[in-house]
Structure 1
Amino acid sequence: METTFDYVIVGAGSAGCALAGRLADSGDDTIALVEAGHHDHHVLVRTPAALAALLPRAGARNYGYETVPQPGLNGRRGYQPRGRGLGGSSSINAMIYTRGRAADYDAWAAAGCDGWSWDDVLPYFRRAECNERLAGSDDDPLHGGNGPLHVSDLRTPNPFAERFIEAAQQAGFPRNDDFNGEEQEGVGWYQVTQHAGERWNAARAYLHGGNKRDRACNGGRAHLRVLTDTQALRIVFEGRHAAGVQLVREGHRQLLRARRDVIVCAGTFGSPQLLMVSGVGPAAHLREHGIAVVHDLPGVGANLQDHLDIVLHKRVAVPELFGVSFGGLARLVPEMLRYRRERTGMMSSNFAEAGGFLRSRPDLPEPDLQLHFVVGMADDHMRRLNFGHGYSCHVCVLRPRSRGEVRLASHDIRRAPLIDPQYLSDARDLDDMVAGVRIVRSIFAQPQLAGFGGRELYSAGLRADGSDDAAVREMIREHADTIYHPVGTCRMGMDAMAVVDPQLRVRGVEGLRVVDASVMPTLVGGNINAPAIMIGERAHDLIRYAPRVMLRVLESMEA
């Protein structure tokens, strides 16, 4: 196997696929894309509703991490599913396409991340997006119609999700038909990263286009080598220059050398872990694990942020909802056959079909809560099954103040890192979650939902008048967990705790970048898959064109 490439990219998740595909399309540089997991040519990846099989437990396509015990959650360990294989978490997520608000990105720029304001990043969102509502047009100022990432409305939306939207309107919240439009606030249907009823993950978008015969997964690009089932062990430095990546493939250790850059796209947990086992990170922590320090960079692994989420469930006897029952099982077989024939029906559902962005208080300038309405009782990441049918609604705080960290459990990257989100370490996050619970219960109480009766699973004893905040707080501590949006552990910026600069270059070393959600300085107000892909798109231009621009500047100065 060839062992020297222009670029060695570690991690074929959302950002890694976008970056690798764009680099391969824009030049003749040789690229190695290294991925620890399998290819994504699998029915469980293609079928949207199959996320119910992939999400709940660790396996070949899900790292299934756990956090360290969380004092804010009564000492419980949180669950942190992360995608393993081509597409990364875009292969196991709920496919929701949201971007956050313009103010989120403007705040990045104001904090020192030049080139990352909303006006700077919007072109990359549009370049990535192929929104079916535009029918191939690029005339919309906020959406793209010709990008590789298909974005669509659900083919067979569940009518019960429409009842949730109407109930929220009855509770006084406005309807919104495009959360990525001029205004984010309101309730409505989510658009999803699907095409013709199938999941359209980042690998389909940027590597192989869904062609199952493309076993190389490189879209026929001879200069792009996609190495699945290949574990990166560490970055190899020559002095302070990242010269390559040591890896294990088919039981043998190899060194892939990079002529230009080693680019780490291993995700919010994997990227800081790889930097630290390679000698870049907090020096004292590295020495604890016997790792020689290449560069003392204290921000590596710090600044972990996540959307902590609480779910309210209600059991109702409505067979159109997902559920565990004899009737539900009997319905499953014809629905599977329908999906095989038409790519429609229940199997095309992403479960979290509708939702909203709301303000916990009317005096706030922007929504601070997000709802995900699920057409089933999704209890404990679908790891706990409750007999019968029902619905549920998630609520999370969009801009939490709590900050955690990722640390090493071992010098061996094959051992899971120590993940400590420090949920609810800032008391204001708990206050906002209490407000969110009250809002969800007020929606449940509206005629469009209340008319079906039923009983809430864990919140049935709460008072309708809001006079029992202590009980709500205890329910949150006992049942809240992630909604799968960890970011920030290789933070972008220019201060001493920043890990990468605005060009995504690791500070203090050469030939090394990080390109994924770990570089986000702060969480955006929404789901993070689309922003991660945007980061991969923008990184391409920074890598491909920024050196040329700098050369032209220098030449003009000399002239």
Structure 2
Amino acid sequence: MAAQLSDVADKAFDYVIVGGGTAGLTIAARLLEHTDNSVLVLEAGEPNLDDPKILLGGGWGSTVGDSKYDWAFMTTPQVHCNNRQMLWSRGKGLGGSSAMNFYAWIKPPAADIDAWEELGNSGWNWKTYMKYTLRAEGFTAASEDQLKEYAHTHNIEYRGQSGPIKTTVPVTPLQINKFFLEAAQKQGLPLLEDAYGGNTAGCWEGSANLDRKSKWTRSYAATAYYLPHKDNPKFKVLTEAIGAKVLFGDAKDGDDLIATGVEFIHDGRTYKAHAKKEVILAAGALKSPQLLELSGVGRRDVLDKVGVPLKLELPGVGENLQDHTFVGISYELDPNVSHKTADLFRNPEFAKEQVRLQDLDQENLHRLGITAFGYVPLQLASPNGSLDIVDKMTAYVEEKKKSGALPPGLAEQWDIQLRVLKDPTLPDVEVIAFPAWLTFVSQPEPGKCYLTTLCVTQHQFSRGSVHSKNNDPLEQPDIDPNTFSVPYDLDVFVENVKFARRLAETEPFKSGIVREVDPGATAKTDEEIKEYLRKCCNTCYHACGSLSMLPRKKNGVVDPKLKVYGTKNLRVADMSIVPLEVAAHTQATAYYVGEYMADILTGAA
């Protein structure tokens, strides 16, 4: 790495960024490109550069639970999910979660982003979303050979051409994609020409973060935003440096706080780095709230409990936590067809051969992607039950409003979510053709290939929280997603599963599978499906909202310039600022936040 501890400890930089992940490295790179400022990035994890576990595709989940790559957060017991604790993996190391996600590049419906502006955030709308995600993306269209296999379509106006994050159509064609997408169309989902222009209600072949010019390896924040600037003398990145708290100067009562630097832990000892201009927290939706609380910013009762003196009372810190929840339905594929799924990697000889082919830059299964997606309005997923669910959810929301018990700002969010739920043109649930086994009841059998239909709820009404457990920066925070605390979220999820099963009963999907493995016959009725969901659902790794960009009186933590209320120069730029969850995998949105933050800092926005 370019930086040693001696380069950083007690040194001053124009900008100090806590978190060398998706947004943090984006901000650092753009500051270096457009200003003459010095930038320090403190990253808690290891560099993990040139690591095959990160760079090679097809090994989804291989870094999950491994402390070298993963924070491996655990939730509190979830009372509405049989008191289970859930593993919430988050990237640890340069690139953050962009180094361990499943590298799907997905954009949300335009309405989801415009809703942020509606909630009081001028400039945060679909127009700027497109501007900044197009700037981040460098898309390569399907080759002629790929077009012979499948008619990949795109609208070039929706695709970035020269950005550092490389996206493309994975090289390995999948038979399962064909029958999944054909079945989806027979069930009423239109096949979209290009789902990256703001309309996502339908099915399509998605893009993946793979770089064709680098042997089809993962393109992520470290390769795209860090490596091109690593030798810049004004850029220091210190890894294995855990942010402990933000340092503030003395302030008179009533004055805004001024951030003067960051205290961090390196090799068991505590040090300081000083900021001449700004401090930016980009440690993610689960760590940034903890950092603020340990700095004395947050809810008075939380800080009193953990023994941190209150410097600035902001009741929204750690609140409004939202997420997507997923569950899998696994199917055994017809053994008479030669399928290409990641299940083949369970054979050690096959896995060894794929590495050899990769070294030779020849086609291999590490160029596999997750690319068959369907985003489904509730009315299509549940033609018979949607009206009942909408009525129940509406009544629930109105009852909670009248009770006066809702936290500030939630009523406005729920009103938008109800509007989306009632709109037959906007998606509420997602189905994905995952090319491998991904369920947790049975075990895959050697030599067999599987398709798992992933069901993912998008706009959950349930809200959770993340708060410091004590005043030790090395302790994980308490994470309580409060999953299914709004009971009708579970009803929507049931309809998601039932729609996915209808796909499997539709040709050519039906003839391509031998049987449903999990959950199988144990989950046929609605109540049995609900129990399967309580037992087996999990995060889809898309948490947001824990430091929401909302008006201060609405429990907001940051303003539309991402400045923490009550401070002059402390900002947050990661998924924690997203005030309302989007119907999309959140990687592209994290780059949006980073790119927009950079323009705010340079005065370009």
Normalising by structure 1, we get a TM-score of 0.90
Instruction: Tell me the CA shift for residue 539 of structure 1.
Output: 0.4
The 8 Å contact of residues 132 and 595 in structure 2, kept in 1 or not, is answered as yes
Letter in 2 for 1:231: I
Instruction: Tell me the CA shift for residue 317 of structure 1.
Output: 4.8
What CA distance in whole angstroms lies between the structure 1 residues aligned with 2:170 and 2:495? 30
Q: What is aligned with 1:526?
A: 584
Please state whether the residue corresponding to 1:187 is helix, strand or coil: strand
Q: Call closer, same or farther: CA 1:324–1:194 in 2, change over 3 Å.
A: closer
What CA distance in whole angstroms lies between the structure 2 residues aligned with 1:90 and 1:385? 28
Instruction: Tell me the CA shift for residue 463 of structure 1.
Output: 7.9
The residue correspondences of 1:54-73 to structure 2 (distance < 5 A) are 54-55=63-64, 57-73=65-81
Instruction: Tell me the CA shift for residue 458 of structure 1.
Output: 2.9
Q: Does 1:472 align with 2:529?
A: yes
For residue 149 of structure 1, the aligned residue among 162, 165, 178 is 165
Q: Call closer, same or farther: CA 1:305–1:343 in 2, change over 3 Å.
A: farther
The 8 Å contact of residues 286 and 477 in structure 2, kept in 1 or not, is answered as yes
What CA distance in whole angstroms lies between the structure 2 residues aligned with 1:320 and 1:141? 34
What CA distance in whole angstroms lies between the structure 2 residues aligned with 1:323 and 1:126? 30
What CA distance in whole angstroms lies between the structure 2 residues aligned with 1:312 and 1:463? 11
For residue 55 of structure 2, the aligned residue among 42, 46, 67 is 46
For residue 85 of structure 1, the aligned residue among 70, 88, 93 is 93
Q: Call closer, same or farther: CA 1:32–1:183 in 2, change over 3 Å.
A: same
Q: What is aligned with 1:421?
A: 481
State which drifts further: 504-513 or 362-371: 362-371
Q: What is aligned with 1:74?
A: 82
Instruction: Tell me the CA shift for residue 360 of structure 1.
Output: 2.3
Q: What is aligned with 2:360?
A: 341
Instruction: Tell me the CA shift for residue 36 of structure 1.
Output: 0.6
Per-residue Cα deviation, 1:518-553 (whole angstroms, up to 9, x for no partner): 00000111011101111100001111106xx8xxxx
Q: Does 1:502 align with 2:511?
A: no
The 8 Å contact of residues 552 and 565 in structure 2, kept in 1 or not, is answered as no
What CA distance in whole angstroms lies between the structure 2 residues aligned with 1:108 and 1:78? 29
Q: Mind listing any 5+ residue stretches in structure 1 that lack a counterpart?
A: 210-217, 550-559
For residue 94 of structure 1, the aligned residue among 98, 102, 113 is 102
Figure out how many residues of one structure are paired with residues of the other and give that number: 531
The 8 Å contact of residues 374 and 432 in structure 2, kept in 1 or not, is answered as yes
The 8 Å contact of residues 344 and 351 in structure 2, kept in 1 or not, is answered as no
Please state whether the residue corresponding to 1:104 is helix, strand or coil: helix
For residue 297 of structure 2, the aligned residue among 261, 280, 304 is 280
The residue correspondences of 1:178-327 to structure 2 (distance < 5 A) are 178-181=194-197, 183-196=199-212, 197-209=216-228, 218-239=229-250, 240-318=257-335, 320-322=339-341
The residue correspondences of 1:435-450 to structure 2 (distance < 5 A) are 435-450=495-510
Instruction: Tell me the CA shift for residue 506 of structure 1.
Output: 0.4
Letter in 2 for 1:11: G
State which drifts further: 422-431 or 263-272: 422-431
Q: What is aligned with 1:481?
A: 538
Q: Does 1:517 align with 2:575?
A: yes
Instruction: Tell me the CA shift for residue 421 of structure 1.
Output: 0.5
Instruction: Tell me the CA shift for residue 329 of structure 1.
Output: 4.0
Q: Does 1:21 align with 2:29?
A: yes
Q: What is aligned with 2:179?
A: 163
Please state whether the residue corresponding to 2:77 is helix, strand or coil: coil
What CA distance in whole angstroms lies between the structure 2 residues aligned with 1:83 and 1:425? 27
What CA distance in whole angstroms lies between the structure 2 residues aligned with 1:543 and 1:439? 45
Per-residue Cα deviation, 1:239-273 (whole angstroms, up to 9, x for no partner): 32111001123444221000011100000001001
Letter in 2 for 1:101: P
The residue correspondences of 1:392-411 to structure 2 (distance < 5 A) are 392-411=452-471
The 8 Å contact of residues 165 and 209 in structure 2, kept in 1 or not, is answered as yes
Q: Call closer, same or farther: CA 1:408–1:308 in 2, change over 3 Å.
A: same
Please state whether the residue corresponding to 1:50 is helix, strand or coil: coil
Q: Mind listing any 5+ residue stretches in structure 2 that lack a counterpart?
A: 1-6, 144-154, 251-256, 381-422
The 8 Å contact of residues 458 and 475 in structure 1, kept in 2 or not, is answered as no
Letter in 1 for 2:23: A
- The percentage of aligned residue pairs carrying the same residue is 28
Normalising by structure 2, we get a TM-score of 0.84
Q: What is aligned with 2:387?
A: none
Superposed CA RMSD in Å reads 2.3
State which drifts further: 246-255 or 223-232: 246-255
Q: What is aligned with 1:215?
A: none
Instruction: Tell me the CA shift for residue 159 of structure 1.
Output: 2.4
The 8 Å contact of residues 72 and 89 in structure 2, kept in 1 or not, is answered as yes
Per-residue Cα deviation, 1:110-149 (whole angstroms, up to 9, x for no partner): 11011101123321111111111399xxx94332101111
The 8 Å contact of residues 488 and 522 in structure 1, kept in 2 or not, is answered as yes
State which drifts further: 335-344 or 271-280: 335-344
What CA distance in whole angstroms lies between the structure 2 residues aligned with 1:326 and 1:490? 40
Letter in 1 for 2:204: G
What CA distance in whole angstroms lies between the structure 2 residues aligned with 1:329 and 1:250? 37
What CA distance in whole angstroms lies between the structure 1 residues aligned with 2:22 and 2:221? 5
What CA distance in whole angstroms lies between the structure 2 residues aligned with 1:521 and 1:141? 28
Instruction: Tell me the CA shift for residue 303 of structure 1.
Output: 0.4
Letter in 1 for 2:188: G
Q: Call closer, same or farther: CA 1:343–1:46 in 2, change over 3 Å.
A: farther
Instruction: Tell me the CA shift for residue 384 of structure 1.
Output: 6.3
The 8 Å contact of residues 545 and 581 in structure 2, kept in 1 or not, is answered as yes
The 8 Å contact of residues 37 and 60 in structure 1, kept in 2 or not, is answered as yes
Instruction: Tell me the CA shift for residue 512 of structure 1.
Output: 0.5
Letter in 2 for 1:529: Q
What CA distance in whole angstroms lies between the structure 1 residues aligned with 2:98 and 2:193? 23
